[in-house]
Chains A and B, each alone.
Chain A
Amino acid sequence: MNYLMRRLATFPLVLLGVSIVVFLAIRMVPGDSITAMLGTEAGLLTPQQRDALAAYFGIDQPWFIQYWRWLLGLFQGNLGISSTYGRPVLDVILEHFPLTLELALLSMVIALLVGMPAGIFAATHNEKLSDLGVRVVAMIGQSTPNFVLALLIIYTLSAGFGVLPAMGEFSPLWQDPLRNLGQLLLPAITLGFAFAASVTRISRSAMLDVLSDDYVRTARSKGVSARGVIWRHALPNALIPVVTLSGIEFGYLLGGAVIVEQIYALPGLGRMVLDAILQRDYALVQGSVLFIAFNFMIVNLLVDLAYVALDPRIRLSEH
């Protein structure tokens, strides 16, 4: 409990650092939100009109004043107003987040369901032909860019079976679960494939390590069957690297998957952030990067708590 409080206490510091970096980075990019919004018509503005617009958006001030204002708003739970959506930033983020969360969860479930058994299988058939097969597929999975895979899936479905992935207006899970699943399944497989490949490789090597440990030999000397050795003795010890990897990958996925969202026309967090950057929607970029960083920290914390649950030797402490 004590540990949890201490960890949570570090969150604001990290978020502060992240926010300053983002704040400066996006302002270093040439162009401004007025030009981005109005396009070529921005050239028609008189200097007075331009100044008035700049004052309206608050970008006429030096960056640290802008940052201070933004920070003050943040403390009041106000992330600002998105210039492209014309709505509060938090509302916009929360509207796009459920899809991203669902996609990330689905991909991880697919990755673990496919990757762990494949890795365990390969480890127990070490250096046999079947092990080689699993390793080759995993290598392909890790090295295929996901837009290639996405296009392959769409092409196979449409050319081979004459069906198209369910596109069109996205329906959230709570409105139409079936249609929602139909829309997310293929993107989740696309993302889950490479994820599964990583899980396969890491669970294979972790299992191989563990299977040569002394306590596995002890278990065999007690008469534990081959299956019992794998599931009851080796697997619990091999889970830690798998949890670490899954946590990192899941954290990345929570930041949105720009390319896959684009191909499957999904209104997720990734595309939203990309658009916000292109539109110089400063408030939205800042807000969403902060949100993504926060999610990543939560995932890391959950991973650390999982270690403790998995291995009694690991204790929570500052080190």
Chain B
Amino acid sequence: MISLLSVSGLRVGFGRNPQANEVVRGVSFDLADGETLAIVGESGSGKSVTALSINRLVDYGGGRITGGSIKLRRADGSTFDLTAAAEPQLTKIRGGEIGMIFQEPMTSLNPVLTIGWQIEESFRLHRGLTGRRATAAAKDALDRVRIPDAARRLKYTPNQLSGGMLQRVMIAMAIACNPRLLIADEPTTALDVTVQAQIMALLAELKQETGMSMIFITHDIGLVAGIADKVMVMQGGEAVEQGALNQILDDPQHPYTRHLLHAVPHFAGGGATRRDAQREKQKAAEPALKVDGLVVRFPVKGGFLSRTSGAVHAVDGVDFELMPGETLAVVGESGSGKSTTARAILGLVRSTRGTISASARKAAAGQSALPVQMVFQNPYGSLNPRLTVENLLAEPVIATGGRITAETRAKMAALLKRVGLPENSLQRYPHEFSGGQRQRLCIARALMLNPSVIVLDEAVSALDVSVQARVLKLLIELQREFGLAYLFISHDMAVVERIAHRIAVIYAGQIVEIGDARSVLSEPKHSYTKQLIAAVPTIDRRHERFELDTRQVPSLVRPLGFEPGPANWQQFGPDHRARVEV
């Protein structure tokens, strides 16, 4: 009798000649009943293709299994080779014996069908349930993933639910018919860190309840500590190392595994913060950026003749100072107002009130300078694909009324070299560069106008973990070299820990805690900061349970004329204060 799933020598290729374009090259592993295997790797490692080959969804992405076997022990004890199976047999196995959840809950559910219908469909297909019995089963499935008020939610369409809720619906759907294997392909990558913690906790509980096996795919080796029994590390289509969880995390053998564990930012609870704090050195200096009482509101229109009935209080009274050479990280979850703050500073959204003052550097004659520049999250979307690098770098200069002189050209070449791009880059187009290289381009572009402040809005979030580490290193070097001040917006605590001197935690449009990075991360005072930090996965917390929390995020829509009460702050150290909670 074989184990539940046995994969041996799996090879998968793409295109017209799959043998020549293999992205998975000889992967083997076994999975016993109730066991969880984590597959860890960066983009292009072949981890998702391996997973999609197991239920043969890879066929629909243009992939072909070119070698090896995938054997599944079915519920009746017979062994079934998935590599040779025909489509009608596969539709019985998919959803019935192998469930799957995906990365993007927002796009993975059909937008025009109610979630109830979509869950019922699983019962119709595999259990033959119809009508009221299917509806009742769907409600039970939602209860199972701890969705409150399940009966009413069945009638919702996906656009009415948050990302975390949708991922629960996905899980409910995937495990509706009690599959014995659940494949989870980066199920929490698109979610906020506290929501991620809840989904991970839910998966752990469900695994215990049902005894199903799980294949958990992730790029974040920190995340596997909480859930996996076994770990397989993939790189370039091959499994470079696999073994029991503790063995891989404590005694990695392969250099790539070691790299993932040590060279990549992991959250260390304030133990890995920077030591080159700028505050004390320049007490008297002028701040590079000063934000005072910033408020950004968006009107909500409704009712007869679309009168303004209220406002979304996206940013509700934010103040901070940023010194030259200093990094202030603004952390918070999606919808907290951190990106709106950044955009208001750049003047990309109109602030309702408050003052923003930035001290500009003195520009050389004939050269333009702007005090604040920005680098955005998505390096693919923020470079015009039809402009050469030269034109992209020239753009800020032209936009501020400057002219392209020999000096400007020399500056372009020097900056490209400084951010580590090849010399012949000037005549190339953005698509010729990788994601990390493009983000370097964006950084070079931001430096063209000699700014004193750079706003980095999730600037490394879209990058692979190893690339992330290198871009962070570059940012720190540039900061020291040019005396730049960074406003670093991020949801990723591990990254923030590496780059921030100070941290501001933002929640529902307000800063709830601000101070020295080390002290905020190691001794959080506000309950929200505590919750945020507790949710960050680390390789040290193994199989640790996280309390399920089904509270909904508070609405930021307020009635007209609403003003928040004055903030009461409590000081916890020379540079650490938190809002007093009511």
Contacts and interface: CB of A to CB of B under 8 A. Distances in A.
A binds B: yes
Interface of A: 2, 213-215, 217-226, 232-233, 236-237, 310-313, 318
Contacts of B125: 222-224
A311 B60 contact: no
Given A214-B108, A217-B102, A312-B112, A223 B87 contact: no
A224 B95 CA distance: 9
Contacts of A2: 304
Give the 7 A-B residue pairs with the shortest CB-CB distance, closest first.
A223-B95, A222-B95, A223-B94, A221-B100, A214-B107, A312-B157, A215-B110
B84 interface: no
Contacts of A225: 88, 91
B387 interface: no
Contacts of A223: 90-96, 122, 125-126
B271 interface: no
Contacts of A312: 111-112, 157, 159
Contact of B60 (A217, A236, A237, A318): A217
Given A217-B102, A312-B157, A313-B159, A318 B306 contact: yes
A195 B304 CA distance: 40
A310 B102 CA distance: 25
30 contacts: A215-B110, A217-B57, A217-B108, A218-B109, A218-B110, A219-B110, A219-B121, A220-B60, A220-B94, A221-B99, A221-B100, A221-B102, A221-B174, A222-B94, A222-B122, A222-B173, A223-B92, A223-B95, A224-B121, A225-B88, A226-B87, A232-B121, A233-B110, A236-B110, A236-B112, A237-B112, A311-B111, A311-B112, A313-B111, A313-B159
A310 B306 contact: no
Interface residues of B, number: 34
B309 to A, nearest CB: 14
A18 B134 CA distance: 55
Given A217-B60, A222-B173, A237 B95 contact: no
Interface in B455-494: none
Nearest to A313: B159
Nearest to B111: A313
B260 to A, nearest CB: 27
Nearest to B106: A214
Nearest to B306: A318
A218 B121 contact: no
Contact of B113 (A220, A226, A236, A318): A236
Interface in B202-240: none
B529 interface: no
B85 to A, nearest CB: 13
B93 A218 contact: no
Nearest to A211: B60
Contact of B109 (A215, A232, A318): A215
A227 to B, nearest CB: 10
Nearest to B119: A222
B112 A221 contact: no
B170 interface: yes
B340 interface: no
Contacts of A311: 111-112
B104 to A, nearest CB: 6
B55 A237 contact: no
B110 A221 contact: no
